[in-house]
Structure 1
Amino acid sequence: MMEQSLTIYEARAAVSDTAAVLAQVNAIAKKTASTIVLFDAEKVAGQDHIRSAVLHAKRSCASGKPVARTLAMEILLYASGQRQCSLAPRFGLHAGDNVLFVVILDGDTAAAQELLNEVVVPEKHGVRASRAVLMKEFGITDAELAVVGEDRIDELVIERVALMDAYK
């Protein structure tokens, strides 16, 4: 598989019309030949979680057997640990105030990032999902945490991302 460029940065956005903002993001992606995904940072276990989702989604698309029609949605599916396209968007942009991880894959990433500045405000926020949110979203049990240790919850999330391949 050809090496691809990946940019991940933190941002915020106030959204009143989710569909309109996603249309803007998709237009930017098309114009810059990029794949762009906006993640709800409050449901993500950090950048390694995102990198794992991107890697698995790219492999899935390269295999010719993706679940979703687009790479962006396939990335959201893997990040959410879900097989259903209707459930994965809850990991993305939503109405109201958004704390985000922005992912730009391939294309003219510099131009995409510049154009996205009209949609999101880049800022370091240091936000990531809480233990309780990760446990709920990924079905992680107290027993699992007792075995591996609380400090390894991110690894359990990344394991759930990888297990998506087994569920296909």
Structure 2
Amino acid sequence: MIRIIGAKGDIENTDQFLKKINDLSKKHKIVIQVLDANMVYGKKHLISASRHAIRAIRRKKNSTNSLPMEILLYASGERQIRLSIQKMGIKTGKKKPIALVFIDNITDLPEANGKISDQNIDEIIKQLGITRNDNVLKGNIETLKKFGINENAIKTVVKDKYEDLILEKVALVDIIK
């Protein structure tokens, strides 16, 4: 199951924060990926990236050695890890918007074959010292532009379909990698 959560929190040290994420992932046998929510255009963006990443791993067409990193590649629309991290990796600072991807109950993937409840997710968020805020997942025109989508492309679709422009970027990773 894929669940997407928005949050805000103070990130003083990204390495320590990511170590906590990794430790919690291993403890629960789930995947937790954290991303800069300023680069997310809605929950569908991360659900699509997660599905593409899972499919790539199942087909042995993954570019990275872990599901969280594969999600990062797809979510960023990039084929290089370094660029993906620059684009969508979490940043240090106060009240940073954070997107969290939780993946569990996928029996054929050992790193995600555990099972957690919504209550477990709430506990994990608390342990991370962040506050849930799904509003940070709402994208805007600036998010689209950060993905290289130009004004002309944006003008060709109605606002309800902006998310589709990001989903195309996610899908294109299969072609460019």
Q: TM-score, normalised on structure 2? A: 0.84
In the other structure, the counterpart of 2:92 is 95
Contact 1:37 1:92 (C-alpha < 8 Å) held by counterparts? no
Counterpart-to-counterpart distance in 1, 2:133 and 2:79: 31
Deviation per residue, 1:63-99 (Å, 9 max, x gap)? 1121111100100110000001011123132111321
2:156 pairs with 1:156: no
Contact 1:9 1:122 (C-alpha < 8 Å) held by counterparts? no
Identify which range, 123-132 or 155-164, moves more after superposition.
123-132
State the one-letter code of the partner of 2:101: V
In the other structure, the counterpart of 1:74 is 70
In the other structure, the counterpart of 1:10 is 6
1:16-165 equivalent positions in 2, closer than 5 A: 16-89=12-85, 90-97=87-94, 98-106=96-104, 107-110=114-117, 111=120, 113-127=122-136, 128-136=138-146, 138-165=147-174
Deviation per residue, 1:12-61 (Å, 9 max, x gap)? 12011100110111011011101001122211000010110001010111
| Alignment gaps of 5+ in structure 1 | none
State the one-letter code of the partner of 1:33: K
Task: Give secondary structure in 2 for the equivalent of 1:126.
Answer: helix
Counterpart-to-counterpart distance in 1, 2:124 and 2:155: 45
Counterpart-to-counterpart distance in 2, 1:117 and 1:34: 17
Equivalent residue pairs, number: 163
CA-based RMSD of the aligned residues comes to 1.7
Contact 1:25 1:116 (C-alpha < 8 Å) held by counterparts? no
Task: Give secondary structure in 1 for the equivalent of 2:156.
Answer: helix
Identify which range, 17-26 or 148-157, moves more after superposition.
148-157
Shift of residue 125, structure 1, vs aligned partner: 4.7
